[in-house]
Amino acid sequence: MGETNFLIKLLGDNLITVLLISALPLGFLVVYALLAILGELKISAWMQERVGPMRTGWKGVLQPLAEVIKLIQKEDITPDAANKPLYNLAPYIVFTGAYAAFAVIPFSEFFVPSGINLGLFYIFAVGSIGAIGIVMGGWASNNKYTLLGAMRSVAQLISYEIPGAMAILSIAVLSSSLNMQEINKAQTGWFWNWFMFGGPGSYEKLWVIPFTLGLTLIYMIASLAETNRTPFDIPEGESELVAGYHTEYSGMKFAMFFFAEYANMFVVAAVLVTAFMGGWNSPFGSFLSGPLWGAFWFIGKSFFVIFVQIWLRWTLPRLRVDQLMYLGWKILLPVSFICFLFVSLFRMLN
């Protein structure tokens, strides 16, 4: 564990270090969430030829801060008819599910909070905790819209989780590891060594590239559904369900849901980057590579994926529930099986 974590190397293996390691992603998350909210506001505005927030700070850069302060000041309302323990617990469970995944995200060659061997599996396991929180919140709010949102969320979970898991499984096959750091190390070198482009290998790997690209696409689509973002924001479709499962939430608890959504966006982007886009590896071989550059590349690639998510959000309309089911079960699942089959074949032949 020591060689994968510079903090343990520096400060020794004690309680304070462990606390620091677990707090570091949270600090990153807060800064990232502010940036992502600003990015969402500004990119959506620019895509619609508006200017977005302009009054808070220089060109509105302090807008996310103002929004957070506003949310903290809001009254915290618990409906009379709500099941109070479940209602109050739900946002924290959703956030815990999102934050737990940060435990295995390799930010750099020398910083991964916990270098466990089951990294990818662990992310998929804790990634589903969020859905439990959503169902809890939707059910406990005692409101038909929240309940519908929660039910849709679960229906959606089953549809996208399997193709997403198949895509990740192919990566486990390609890298013969579930450890996030090992997967990253397997993709060292130029960008054509990324698993997106079939992983390291000679010209023989050319025929497998379409399949790995397809898997990248499948994971991208599945991850959009996992974060409840447009075009898969069925659980919180504003025009149909008021605000979906968090209709009854206000103030800090709503902020928690909001925060969890952005944390989840980063988690799926990080998994996509780690599994398919080389993680902290520089795209240009040994050029600009190193522990700090690694963090730069990792966060930079993740932010690019988040940009694509935002981009898609302002491009596509929301899918209907049955359209999502069709996409999940009839397109993503068979295609991911085929891709998985050929990737395994490729692995066997090599």
Count of residues in the chain: 350
Of the candidates 243, 233, 261, 228, the one whose C-alpha atom is nearest the C-alpha of residue 317 is 233
Report in angstroms how near the CB of residue 315 gets to other proteins at its nearest.
Answer: 5
Q: Measured from the CB of residue 110, what is the shortest distance to other proteins in angstroms?
A: 36
CA distances from 163 to 135, 148, 221, 228, 310 (A): 22, 24, 9, 16, 22
The least CB distance from residue 290 to other proteins, in Å, is 32
> What whole-number distance in Å separates Cα of residue 129 and Cα of residue 206?
38
Beta strands (DSSP E) in 145-274 are none
- For helices 15-47 and 291-313, what crossing angle results, to 10°? 40
Instruction: Report the residue number, 21 or 221, with the smaller CB distance to other proteins.
Output: 221
Q: Which is nearer to other proteins, 15 or 55 (CB)?
A: 55
Q: Which DSSP letter does residue 318 get?
A: P
Nearer to other proteins, 179 or 309 (CB): 309
Confirm if 239 and 317 have CB atoms less than 8 A apart: no
Nearer CB in complex with other proteins: 43/71: 43
Q: How far is the CB of 144 from other proteins (least distance, A)?
A: 32
Least Å distance between CB 51 and other proteins? Answer: 5
3-state helix, strand, coil in the chain (%, to 5): 75, 0, 25
**At closest approach, how far in Å is the CB of 47 from other proteins?**
5
Residues that bind other proteins (CB under 8 A): 43, 45-51, 54, 217, 311-312, 314-316, 331, 335
Question: Nearer to other proteins by C-beta: 205 or 318?
Answer: 318
Tell me phi and psi for residue 190, to 5 degrees: -70, 170
**Residues facing 190 on adjacent strands:** 284
Q: How far is the CB of 347 from other proteins (least distance, A)?
A: 25
Measured from the CB atom, the residue of 5 and 212 that comes closer to other proteins is: 212
Nearer to other proteins, 293 or 304 (CB): 304
Smallest separation, CB 308 to other proteins (Å): 9
Of 58 and 287, CB closest to other proteins: 58
The reply to whether omega before 79 is within 30° of 0 (cis) is no
| Integer Cα distance of 152 and 321 in angstroms | 8
In whole angstroms, the minimum distance from the beta carbon of 50 to other proteins comes to: 5
* Contact indicator for 71, 251 with CB cutoff of 8 Å: yes
- Choose between 207 and 311: whose C-beta lies nearer to other proteins: 311
- Report the distance separating Cα 224 and Cα 309, nearest Å: 7
The two three-digit tokens of residue 106, written as one number: 């390799």
The Cα-based distances of 41 to 99, 115, 158, 160, 236 in angstroms read 23, 35, 31, 27, 18
Query: Two tokens at 19?
Result: 């606390």
